[in-house]
């Protein structure tokens, strides 16, 4: 009788040894042969010596095995449930709970005495071989010469069929592009999942999956899939090997692999990693720039007072020909305000004002949003729905009237206009009237300057030509610092003094490079929160796609070049509500082996 118990113990240990850790759903199974001896932590599995992490142990006259070791080998989940202070083992259709303190075992909620199944060996939970063997089956052969036990075990194939339904569960499966990867080398995952009912895979749930690994070792990667009817697969696990061979560090990996629009954090443990910022983005060499100014259009900027606390004329200027009207204001009063741009014909003949481009945004309390959206609208260059404005001699007409500003709301506006005579443009905050007129303006005073940009500037657009064909070191251009990118000089008609367009708001930048080398182009904010659009080779890139970019905390990928492009063209206008300066960083990429 005791010998039978011993043989049963060996049977169970053998099955544990050959089982290993099931990695996935088995479509079919095959016969396994295992030879082993009592009290040895090894087995001969199909002729190959295999170590075991546990062996059977006699407690009294019965053989017990360690539950955790058994469960691990069979891929059976065993864990400590802290909520109920019990060890739980989950098997198909069976949950076993071991209440060590109260010496009870519950099998599918049916309680039995602890010592009929289990025992404690120090802090290790052991279970009887006979009890555990109830969950498995095997044939055994005894070699009468060496008393060695030969076990023949066939595990039952997994059943995909969902009880109570007319369909099967999907199968999760994947592999890697190759057997091992270097540190920082992109991992290729090959999806091999399928659904036997051809209902299609609707959802993938990964554990441990990473684009690349930066520490050597072996890592488990798991996958579960769900079909279109909600049936969930069993979890499938494979181990990936990461060799201790350098390919790319984490920062370089991001430079080579992150997609356009990706934000890359420069923080560590929740704080700015200043060593990284200093090493990668401070004191970068400046790409020489050939600047060409377009003086065919005059820029009129009305941004002071930016927040007005009373009604009045914010700014006014006279222009004959092409102009860009740019306004950025916030209602700082306690009442609803009507914002209008009036156009007065100062000549003795009829004047026509045409609008060739515009950027508008509905009033909002979010400064970054209105600057971003108005810039997007202007850079779209969509057909303009404003017809020509024909103004009789000496008359004032409304050129643009916005929806009412509620207290705290602001607006940002761009208008490119052309006139065939002199026109006085007035930016006005006033009470709502049916038809604003020159008489309405006569009742208002010119509001005082309060430190923001206001004035008339001779340049509305500039082109920067760069040589990006062969530079070797990470380099930059800077926008809006007043030094690398000098602020445009103009004149404030109301104050009658020379002024600077600090930030160059309303300016359109066109950055051009012939035959750029292979590189990644990054946005790095240095002045404060930033939110604005770029056009890269004619396509919009939002920086960022949502929220704002905080200074020194992150960079965003704006573009990538392969080295085969004919040119790189970047269009940009400084968005209202964002802080400057910003750097556009050019990070050269070499061919990797």
- Looking at residue 26, which CATH number applies to its domain? 3.30.457.10
Of the residues 153, 185, 209, the one at which a domain ends: 153
Cα gap 91→80, rounded to integer Å: 15
Tell me the pairing of strands 554-561 and 236-246. Answer: unpaired
Instruction: Say whether both 94 and 127 belong to one domain.
Output: yes
Instruction: Say whether both 317 and 444 belong to one domain.
Output: yes
The tokens 């009290």 sit on which residue? Answer: 39
Listed residue (319, 313, 303) closest to 458, CA to CA: 319
Cα gap 412→369, rounded to integer Å: 10
Are 151 and 140 contacting, i.e. CB atoms less than 8 angstroms apart?
yes
Instruction: Say whether both 430 and 479 belong to one domain.
Output: no
Judged by DSSP in three states, 13 sits in helix
Q: Residues of 521-533 as b/e, b for ≥16 C-beta within 10 angstroms?
A: bbbbbbeebbbbb
Give domain status of residue 297, yes or no. Answer: no
CA atoms within 13 A on the CB side of 30: 2
Cα gap 202→224, rounded to integer Å: 11
Residue 13's pLDDT is 39
Give domain status of residue 90, yes or no. Answer: yes
Contacts of 65 (CB under 8 A, 6+ apart): 9, 12, 13, 16, 54, 55, 56, 57, 126, 127, 129, 132
Question: Within its chain, how far is the Cα of 505 from the centroid?
Answer: 29
Alpha helices in 237-390 (DSSP H): 250-257, 274-281, 367-380
Whole-angstrom Cα Rg for the chain: 37
Q: What is the CATH number of the domain that holds 189?
A: 2.60.40.10
Are 408 and 336 contacting, i.e. CB atoms less than 8 angstroms apart?
no
Sheet strands (E) in 147-200: 149-153, 174-176, 180-183, 189-191
Residue 54's pLDDT is 72
Instruction: Say whether both 211 and 346 belong to one domain.
Output: no
The tokens 């950055």 sit on which residue? Answer: 511
> Residues in the chain with pLDDT < 70?
1-32, 34-38, 43, 45, 50, 52, 70-75, 91-94, 130, 133-167
Instruction: Say whether both 441 and 315 belong to one domain.
Output: yes
The number of distinct structural domains making up the chain is: 4
Are 285 and 477 contacting, i.e. CB atoms less than 8 angstroms apart?
no
Are 578 and 532 contacting, i.e. CB atoms less than 8 angstroms apart?
yes
Instruction: Say whether both 368 and 320 belong to one domain.
Output: yes
Report yes or no on whether pTM surpasses 0.85. no
The secondary structure of residue 480, as a DSSP letter, is S
**The domain containing residue 205 runs over which residues?**
174-247
Instruction: Say whether both 355 and 430 belong to one domain.
Output: yes
Cα gap 62→133, rounded to integer Å: 14
Listed residue (551, 468, 529, 534) closest to 281, CA to CA: 551
Of the residues 417, 452, 487, the one at which a domain ends: 452
Give domain status of residue 101, yes or no. Answer: yes
Tell me the pairing of strands 189-191 and 174-176. Answer: antiparallel
Of the residues 433, 452, 471, the one at which a domain ends: 452
Give domain status of residue 529, yes or no. Answer: yes
Give domain status of residue 269, yes or no. Answer: yes
Structure tokens at 384: 């303009």
Give domain status of residue 518, yes or no. Answer: yes
Instruction: Say whether both 523 and 490 belong to one domain.
Output: yes
Give domain status of residue 260, yes or no. Answer: yes
Instruction: Say whether both 7 and 138 belong to one domain.
Output: yes
Residue 149's pLDDT is 61
Are 406 and 331 contacting, i.e. CB atoms less than 8 angstroms apart?
yes
The tokens 């017809």 sit on which residue? Answer: 387
Listed residue (300, 289, 292, 291) closest to 458, CA to CA: 300
CA atoms within 13 A on the CB side of 554: 18
Instruction: Say whether both 505 and 523 belong to one domain.
Output: yes
Instruction: Say whether both 267 and 329 belong to one domain.
Output: no
CA distances from 526 to 199, 461, 523, 580 (A): 51, 23, 10, 7
Sheet strands (E) in 154-231: 174-176, 180-183, 189-191, 201-207, 217-227
Residue 137's pLDDT is 55
Judged by DSSP in three states, 130 sits in helix
Alpha helices in 249-314 (DSSP H): 250-257, 274-281
Instruction: Say whether both 29 and 54 belong to one domain.
Output: yes
Give domain status of residue 147, yes or no. Answer: yes
Residue 514's pLDDT is 97
> How many residues can be counted in the chain?
593
Residue 93's pLDDT is 63
* Ramachandran category for residue 116: left, alpha or beta (phi over 0 → left; psi -120 to 50 → alpha): alpha
């Amino acid at each position: 009788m005791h010998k039978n118990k011993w043989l049963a113990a060996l049977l169970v240990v053998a099955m544990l040894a050959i089982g290993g850790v099931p990695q996935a759903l088995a479509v079919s199974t095959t016969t396994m042969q295992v030879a082993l001896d009592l009290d040895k932590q090894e087995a001969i599995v199909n002729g190959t010596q295999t170590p075991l992490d546990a062996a059977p142990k006699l407690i009294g006259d019965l053989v017990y095995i360690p539950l955790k070791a058994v469960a691990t080998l069979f891929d059976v989940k065993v864990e400590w449930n802290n909520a109920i202070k019990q060890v739980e083992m989950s098997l198909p259709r069976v949950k076993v709970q071991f209440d060590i303190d109260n010496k009870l075992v519950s099998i599918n909620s049916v309680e039995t005495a602890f010592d009929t199944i289990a025992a404690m060996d120090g802090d290790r939970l052991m279970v009887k071989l006979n009890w555990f063997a109830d969950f498995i089956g095997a044939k055994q052969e005894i070699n009468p010469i060496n008393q060695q036990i030969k076990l023949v075990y066939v595990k039952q194939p997994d059943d995909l069929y969902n009880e109570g339904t007319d369909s099967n569960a999907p199968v999760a499966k994947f592999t890697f592009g190759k057997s091992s990867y270097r540190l920082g080398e992109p991992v290729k995952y090959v999806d091999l999942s399928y659904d036997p009912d051809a209902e299609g895979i609707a959802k993938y749930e990964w554990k441990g999956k990473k684009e690349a690994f930066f520490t050597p070792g072996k890592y488990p990667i798991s996958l579960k899939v769900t079909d279109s009817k909600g049936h969930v697969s069993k979890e499938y696990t494979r181990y990936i090997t990461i060799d201790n061979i350098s390919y790319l560090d984490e920062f370089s990996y991001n430079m080579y692999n992150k997609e356009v629009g990706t934000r890359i954090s420069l923080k560590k443990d929740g704080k700015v990693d200043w060593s990284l910022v200093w090493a990668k983005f401070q004191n970068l060499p400046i790409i020489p720039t050939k600047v060409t100014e377009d003086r065919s259009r005059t820029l009129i900027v009305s941004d002071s007072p930016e927040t007005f606390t009373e009604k009045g004329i914010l700014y006014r200027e006279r222009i004959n020909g092409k102009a860009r009207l740019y306004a950025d204001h916030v209602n700082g009063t306690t009442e609803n305000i009507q914002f209008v741009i009036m156009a007065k014909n100062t000549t003795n003949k009829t004047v026509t004002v045409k609008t060739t481009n515009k950027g508008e945004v509905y009033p909002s309390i979010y400064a970054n949003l209105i600057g971003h959206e108005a810039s997007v609208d202007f850079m779209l260059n969509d057909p303009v729905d404003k017809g020509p404005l024909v103004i009789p001699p000496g008359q004032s007409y409304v050129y643009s009237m916005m929806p009412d500003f509620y207290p705290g709301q602001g607006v940002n506006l761009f208008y490119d206009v052309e006139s065939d005579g002199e026109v006085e443009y007035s930016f006005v905050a006033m009470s709502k009237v049916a038809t604003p007129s020159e008489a309405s303006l006569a009742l208002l005073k010119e509001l005082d300057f309060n430190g923001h940009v206001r004035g008339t500037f001779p340049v509305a657009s500039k082109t920067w030509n760069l040589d990006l064909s062969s530079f070797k070191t990470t380099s930059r251009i800077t926008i809006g610092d007043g030094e690398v990118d000098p602020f445009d000089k103009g004149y404030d008609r109301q104050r009658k003094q020379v002024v600077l367009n600090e930030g160059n708001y309303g300016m359109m930048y066109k950055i051009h490079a012939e035959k750029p080398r292979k590189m990644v182009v990054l946005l790095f904010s240095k002045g404060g929160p930033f939110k604005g659009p770029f056009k890269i080779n004619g396509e919009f890139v939002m920086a960022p796609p949502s929220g704002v970019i905080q200074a020194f905390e992150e960079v965003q990928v704006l573009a990538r070049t392969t080295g085969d492009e004919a040119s790189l063209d970047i269009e940009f206008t400084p968005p209202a509500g964002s802080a400057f300066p910003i750097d556009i960083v050019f990070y050269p990429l070499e061919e990797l082996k």
